Amino acid sequence: MSDIEIRHVSKAYGKTKALKDVSVAITGAKVYGLLGRNGAGKTTLLNILTNRIFADSGEIRVDGESAMENDRAQAKIFYMTEQTLYPKNMRVRNVFQLTRGFYPSFDLTYAHALAERFQLRPESRIGALSTGYLSIFKLILTLASNAPVMIFDEPVLGLDANHRDLFYRELLARYQAAPNTVILSTHLIEEAAALLEEVIILKEGQVLFARPVDELLQLAYVVSGSQENIDRYAKGKRVIREEALGRYKSITIYQPCSSADQEMLARLGLDQAPARLQELFINLTN
C-alpha cells in the first residue's frame, strides 16, 4: 500500500476546466471508489497521477515523493486504463513477460492462472482481442502486478456478467490476501458498491465528497410500507426517490434518521433500510 496526496490540482483543456483545485488524500490499504458522471474529471485525475498528462497547477505526492516524472513513485502504481498502450502485434504472454521486467513483484504464474480462468489465450495478439477481452487482458495485468496502488479505470468495460462477477471475486480475493490501495473508477456503482470502503465523488472537476462509504450511506435511508403511512412520514422530509406498487410504497430520504424519526417509523409500522450507493450518487451529482 502507498499514500497518495493530491494537492490543489487543476487542469484545463482549452477553455474547458477538467479539474478545479482538486485536493484529496488516498491513504492506506483500502478500496476506493472514484465516482463521477461523464466528464467529471475522473480519468483526467488518474492520468495526471500516472504521468500520462500533466496538471496545470498543483502536485501529487506518492509516499511523500512527487509523482511527476518520478520512476520510483510510478513504480508503486499500476494503472489499468481504457486506452491500450501496447502494440497490436504483441502477444499477451509477451506483455506479461515485459511487465514482470518493470514490476518485479508481477506474479507471472498468477497472470497465467487468471488468463486461464478468464479464457484468455496467452498466444493471442493484442490487436485480435475483442473489447471485452482487452479489458480482461488489462485487468489481469493490473491484478498480477502486485503494485502497492492498483488503479482500475472502467475495468469491466465490455465484460459479460460472468466475467464481471469473476473479476470482482478475484479482486476481493487478491485484496484479502495482500491488502493494498485499490482505486476503482466505474460507472457501474451498484456492482462495485459492496467492494468499496471509501468513495471520492467528483462533480464538474471538483471533489464533492471524499469519505468512507458508511458515512455516505448514513446521509440517507430507505423507508417502505403502506402508501398512506409513507406519505404521512415523508411530510417535510427530503425525498430523493419514490417507488410505488399498488398500496406498497418505498422512498429514499436524504437526511439522517433521528431518534424521533425512529419512533415515528415504529409507530407507523414502516420498515427502514440503508440507502443504496447508486441512489445517493445520482442525487448528489444531479
- Using CB under 8 A as the binding rule, whether residue 75 contacts other proteins is answered as yes
Are 250 and 227 in contact by the 8 Å Cβ rule? The answer is no
Rounded to a whole number of angstroms, the minimum distance from the CB of residue 19 to other proteins is: 14
Cα Rg of the chain, angstroms: 22
State which of residues 87, 127, 179, 256 lies at the interface with other proteins (CB under 8 A): 87
What's the closest the beta carbon of residue 154 comes to other proteins, in angstroms? 15
Q: Report, in Å, the least distance between residue 117 CB and other proteins.
A: 23
Instruction: Give the span between the Cα atoms of 180 and 229, in whole angstroms.
Output: 46
Quote the least distance from Cβ 187 to other proteins, whole Å.
20
Q: How far is the CB of 241 from other proteins (least distance, A)?
A: 38
x/- track of binding to other proteins for residues 177-216 (CB under 8 A): ----------------------------------------
**Which residues from 100-119 bind other proteins, rule CB under 8 A?**
101-103
Q: Identity (one letter) of the amino acid at 258?
A: S
Interaction of residue 77 with other proteins, rule CB under 8 A: yes
CB of 151 to other proteins, least distance (A): 11
Angstrom distance (rounded) from CA 33 to CA 38: 15
In 3-state terms, what secondary structure has residue 139? Answer: helix
In the bound state with other proteins, the residue whose beta carbon lies nearer, of 86 and 118, is: 86
d(CA 182, CA 250): 34
Segment near other proteins (CB under 8 A); pick from 29-37, 97-105, 112-120, 229-237: 97-105
Angle between the N-to-C axes of helices 131-145 and 108-117, in degrees from 0 to 180, rounded to the nearest 10: 150
Are 145 and 138 in contact, with CB atoms under 8 Å apart?
no
- Residues of span 243-272 touching other proteins by CB under 8 A: none
86 binds other proteins (CB under 8 A): yes
C-beta of residue 34 within 8 angstroms of C-beta of residue 189: no
Relative orientation angle of helices 161-177 and 108-117, to the nearest 10 degrees? 150
Give first-to-last CA distance, the chain, whole Å: 33
3-state secondary structure (DSSP) of residue 220: coil
CB of residue 185 to other proteins, shortest distance in Å: 17
Q: Give the residue with the Cβ less far from other proteins, 23 or 83.
A: 83
Amino acid, single-letter form, for residue 31: V
Residues 19-58 within binding reach of other proteins (CB under 8 A):
47, 50-54
- Find where cell 459479460 sits: 160
The footprint of other proteins (CB under 8 A) covers: 47, 50-54, 69-71, 74-75, 77-79, 81, 83, 85-87, 94, 98-99, 101-103
